[in-house]
């Protein structure tokens, strides 16, 4: 029996929610990225794909809730992107995702798409490791709370190295890497990359997406 057509995937959400970054983090090269659902003066995008990925940039607003109320739960995944900006710990982002899921009656995954995309396409270089090791025992962990704190000249003389590190990795990833190296200074680069990938939260989303994709393919083949 010939195989059916491949399921269509659409990635949607508000402007600047991180739709492109989420698509890259999931390696969804063929997925369709829609126009923003909050584009003034334009009609809502037609969301008729076999799988729908809706990207929330933190808290939902009235537009998100209006659109999501129209989407079929069995074909919709919600990505709570920029989870590193929610609270102070990953547990805060996980709790926010659970609250969103209960309110929306949809599956919601907390994700740091910028970190996930970097771990899929990049490597932890020797220069990255040297800079991280120089600061793994910094007496004030709060210096990773904001980019200007992390790159402040008063911290050390390697300002340019810290700026280059921040250009390559999001601050949350740097914070996770410093904690990991503080506990295990001999971690190799490949293991550190795996830790950062896990810290992005992308794997549970990818697993769920794969499961939904198989279900959609079965529906199309019947």
Q: What is the pLDDT of residues 131-151, one digit of tens each?
A: 999 999 998 888 999 999 999
Candidates 140, 135, 179, 177; CA nearest to 158 is 135
The whole-angstrom separation of Cα 20 and Cα 185 is 35
- Averaged pLDDT of the chain: 94
Identify the H or E element spanning 88.
none
Per-residue pLDDT tens digits for 106-126 = 999 999 999 999 999 889 999
Q: Are residues 206 and 192 in the same domain?
A: no
Residues 14 and 104 placed together within one structural domain of the fold: yes
Sequence-distant contacts of 124-129: CB under 8 A, at least 24 apart: 124/177, 124/189, 124/190, 124/192, 124/193, 124/196, 125/168, 125/189, 126/189, 127/161, 127/164, 128/165, 128/168, 128/169, 128/189, 129/189, 129/192
Look at residue 2 and tell me if it is in a domain: no
Instruction: Say if residues 79 and 111 touch (Cβ distance below 8 Å).
Output: yes
Residue with tokens 């083949």: 221
- In terms of residue numbers, what domain contains 94? 9-112+201-221
Tell me the per-residue pLDDT of 21-42, one tens digit each, with 9 for 90 and over.
999 999 998 899 999 999 988 9
Please indicate, yes or no, whether residues 181 and 213 belong to a single structural domain of this protein.
no
Q: How confident is the model at residue 3, as a pLDDT?
A: 59
172 and 72 belong to one structural domain: no
User: What is d(CA 167, CA 152) in angstroms, rounded to the nearest whole number?
Assistant: 15
Q: Name the percent of the chain in helix, strand, coil, to the closest 5.
A: 50, 10, 40
Distance CA 60, CA 208 (A): 21
Looking at the structure, do residues 13 and 29 belong to the same domain, yes or no? yes
Q: Is residue 71 part of a domain?
A: yes
Question: Given pLDDT bands bounded at 50, 70 and 90, which one contains residue 5?
Answer: confident
Please tell me the total count of domains within the chain: 2
The verdict on residue 37 lying in a domain is: yes
Q: Record the pTM.
A: 0.91
138, 45: one domain: no
Residue 208 Cα distances to 108, 116, 149, angstroms: 10, 16, 37
């Amino acid at each position: 029996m010939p195989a059916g057509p491949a399921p269509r995937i659409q990635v949607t959400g508000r402007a600047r929610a991180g739709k492109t970054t989420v698509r890259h983090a999931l390696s969804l090269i063929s997925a369709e990225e829609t126009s923003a659902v909050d584009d003034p003066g334009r009609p809502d995008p037609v969301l008729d794909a076999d799988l729908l990925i809706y990207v929330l940039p933190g808290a939902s607003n009235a537009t998100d809730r209006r659109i999501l109320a129209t989407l079929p739960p069995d074909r919709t995944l919600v990505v709570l992107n920029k989870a590193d900006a929610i609270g102070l710990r990953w547990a805060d982002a996980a709790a926010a995702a659970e609250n969103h899921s209960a309110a929306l009656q949809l599956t919601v995954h907390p994700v740091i798409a910028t970190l996930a995309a970097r771990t899929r396409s990049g490597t932890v270089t020797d220069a990255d490791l040297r800079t991280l090791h120089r600061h793994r025992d910094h007496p004030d962990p709060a210096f990773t709370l904001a980019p200007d704190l992390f790159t402040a000249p008063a911290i050390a003389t390697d300002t340019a190295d810290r700026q280059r590190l921040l250009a390559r990795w999001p601050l949350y990833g740097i914070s996770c890497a410093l904690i990991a190296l503080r506990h295990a200074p001999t971690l190799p680069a490949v293991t550190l990359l795996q830790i950062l990938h896990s810290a992005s939260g992308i794997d549970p989303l990818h697993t769920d997406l794969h499961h939904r994709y198989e279900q959609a393919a079965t529906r199309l083949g019947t």
